[in-house]
Amino acid sequence: MNFYSTNQKARPASFKEAIYQSLPPDNGLYFPETIPTIRKKVNPNLSLPEIGFEVMKPFAKDDLTSAELLHIVEDALNFSIPLIEVENNIHSLELFHGPTYAFKDVGARFLARCLSTFNTQSNREVTILVATSGDTGGAVASGFYKVPGVEVIILYPSGKVSELQEKQLTTLGENITALEVDGDFDACQSLVKSAFLDDDLKSAKNLSSANSINIARWIPQSIYYWWLSLQTGFDPNLVISVPSGNYGNIAAGLLAKKMGVPIKRFIAASNVNNVVPRYLETGKYLPTATIATYSNAMDVGNPSNFPRILELYGKAYTAIVQEISGGYLSDNETLDTMRSCLEKNNYQLDPHGAIGYQLLVDHLKEGETGAFLETAHPCKFLPVIHKINPTYTVPPFANNLLEKEKKSVKISHHFEEFKTFLLN
Ligand SMILES: *Cc1c(COP(=O)(O)O)cnc(C)c1O
């Protein structure tokens, strides 16, 4: 299958080309030329990797053999994704049982294994550059850990990520190098952008990015919507609430619905960075500057995947609002939600999942079945959790990580220093 650019100016790319390029040259987003319907191929006895195979097959089949794809999904989806009933009719899809305790593991691991397979096919080596403000870098680093033919350089802002997040970036070693940049996230991002524009680097290295808008990170997220529906016996009244920031996760859910998963409707659950809920309310899309919140992985003022949502509905506002409603919580409301859910259900939400939970509870109607996505493990946001649950202790797996020794290379925010590092 080919992928076209939502800006319509770049030429269509194959699955493999779209993955290597990440972004089309016209700055749009890659989008599948057709949306396959696979409802008949998903039977209730399939395992998670088997569903992954059926979902990804129509997109990947020109560039990956069935054996290669099966191997990729089995290896990428090697952790459980349980559906837990938190209270009557409100279910949590726990997406945090992967190696970095966040749903981004699904897409990052799939992308890493695709690149590794392509590299083996053509015997080439790539260097992946990633700038991270926290969660993404950990998932990418872990996803690419020990993957042959791939070297990963992660840039993170010194002193601006949580302790657990820093340990996830800096304790792996092997093919993963963490650069601790004296500057903020924007400085990290601008170093990466300059590298992609630098001719010396372009001729010396095969540079690539593991950007979150890459189709190999976006589309595999559809897999767990099929999995969720299957756990409910393909309940046609299923309503899913998705904690959203860059809107890739919910766009993958909408894609799954178009592919035939019986989902009734979606709730776009946001924090005060509420550009999409306001669009759903008013029909006007007005990006804003980002506001810092407790659910910081959702602090996005201009969500990059929004054009994919428009594309899925032929840009028709009336069609979009029939299937998606939106809402948002303030930081105080997020804390209140975490506190009350803990008291009522003895279930510790993380600040992102809490927003998904509360908007589901508020918006669910008679006769509907509710599920929200728990996008990260609460232990990743310890200072916030301690505000409402002072006795919360991190689970043993997180403690082990905290005890590991950090290894990073300190650099300034000057491009020449970064360039010299890359060339040596
Ligand atoms: C990235 C992230 C989100 C937002 O997901 P999008 O696909 O960008 O909307 C939500 N919660 C957590 C914990 C995240 O890491």
Q: Judge whether 170 and 178 are in contact, CB under 8 Å.
A: yes
The pLDDT, as a whole number, for residue 122 is 78
What phi and psi, each to the nearest 5 degrees, are found at residue 176? Answer: -110, 125
Q: Is the pLDDT of residue 80 over 80?
A: yes
Cβ of 248 less than 6 Å from ligand 1: yes
**Does ligand 1 come within 6 angstroms of the Cβ of 376?**
yes
Q: Tell me: the pLDDT tens digits for 162-199? A: 888 899 999 999 999 999 999 888 889 889 989 988 99
Is the pLDDT at 209 greater than 80? The verdict is yes
Would you state the pLDDT for residue 78?
A: 96
Examine the pLDDT at 418 and tell me if it is beyond 80.
yes
Residue 301 exposed, middle or buried by CB count within 10 Å (0-12, 13-18, 19+) = middle
Over residues 233-256, the mean pLDDT reads: 97
**Ligand 1 pocket mutation pick from 95, 244, 372 by most atoms within 8 angstroms of CB:** 244
Rounded distance, CA 5 to CA 27, Å?
8
132, with CB counted inside 10 A (0-12, 13-18, 19+), is: buried
- Give the dihedral sign, CA 23/130/245/235: positive
Please tell me what DSSP assigns to residue 121. H
Instruction: Give every strand in the sheet of 176-181, ordered side by side.
Output: 207-209, 126-131, 150-157, 176-181, 409-411
- Ligand 1 centroid to residue 387 C-alpha, Å: 22
Res. 373: pLDDT tops 80: yes
Asked if 111 and 216 count as a contact pair (C-beta separation under 8 A), the reply is: yes
Radius of gyration, alpha carbons of the chain: 21
Task: Determine the average pLDDT of the residues in 304-329.
Answer: 97
pLDDT of 239 over the 90 cut:
yes
pLDDT score for 390: 96
Find where tokens 């669910």 sit.
Answer: 364
Neighbours of 25 (CB within 10 A): 12
Residue 331 falls in which region: left (phi positive, over 0), alpha (psi -120 to 50) or beta: alpha
Tell me, in angstroms, the distance from the centre of ligand 1 to residue 187's CA: 22
List the 13-14 sheet strands across, edge first: 13-14, 2-5, 30-32
pLDDT in tens, 264-309: 999 999 999 999 999 999 999 999 988 989 998 898 888 999 999 9
Dump the DSSP string for 369-394.
Answer: EEEEEE-B-GGGGHHHHHHH-TT---
pLDDT tops 80 at residue 134: no
Instruction: Provide the 8-state DSSP code for 37.
Output: -
| 212/105 Cα distance (integer angstroms) | 11
Q: What would the pLDDT profile of 6-34 be if each residue is shown by its tens digit?
A: 999 999 999 999 998 888 989 899 999 99
Whether 134 lines ligand 1, by a CB cut-off of 6 Å, is no
Ramachandran angles phi, psi of 248, nearest 5°: -75, -45
Q: Model confidence over 212-227: pLDDT tens digits? A: 899 999 999 999 999 9
Q: Quickly list DSSP for 167-211.
A: HHHHS--TTEEEEEESS-HHHHHHHHHHHHH-HHHHHH--EEE--
Ligand 1 atom with least separation from CA of 352: 11
Structure tokens at 379: 């232990």
141 lines ligand 1 (CB under 6 A): no
Q: How far does Cα 242 stand from its chain's mean position?
A: 12
Among 144-148, 335-339, 379-383, the range of highest mean pLDDT: 335-339
Place 204 in a pLDDT band, splitting at 50, 70 and 90.
very high
Tokens of 193: 């952008």
The alpha carbon of 383 and the centre of ligand 1 are apart by a number of angstroms equal to: 19
**Average pLDDT along the chain:** 94
Determine the residue of 375, 377, 385 to mutate for testing ligand 1's pocket, defined as the one with the most ligand atoms within 8 A of the Cβ atom.
Answer: 375
Residue 245 alpha carbon to ligand 1 centre in Å: 6
Nearest CA-CA partner of 224 in 248, 241, 249: 249
> What pLDDT shows up at residue 231?
96
Predicted confidence band of residue 138 (pLDDT cuts 50, 70, 90): confident
Q: Is the pLDDT of residue 135 over 80?
A: no
**What's the pLDDT score for residue 96?**
96
Q: Is the pLDDT of residue 352 over 90?
A: yes
Cα(260)–Cα(268) distance, rounded to whole angstroms?
20
Q: How far is the CA of 247 from the centre of ligand 1 (A)?
A: 8
Q: What pLDDT does 290 receive?
A: 86
pLDDT of residue 124: 78
pLDDT score for 315: 96
Choice from 352, 380, 382, 384 to test ligand 1 binding pocket (greatest atom count within 8 A of CB): 352
* pLDDT value for 212: 82
Distance CA 161, CA 163 (A): 7
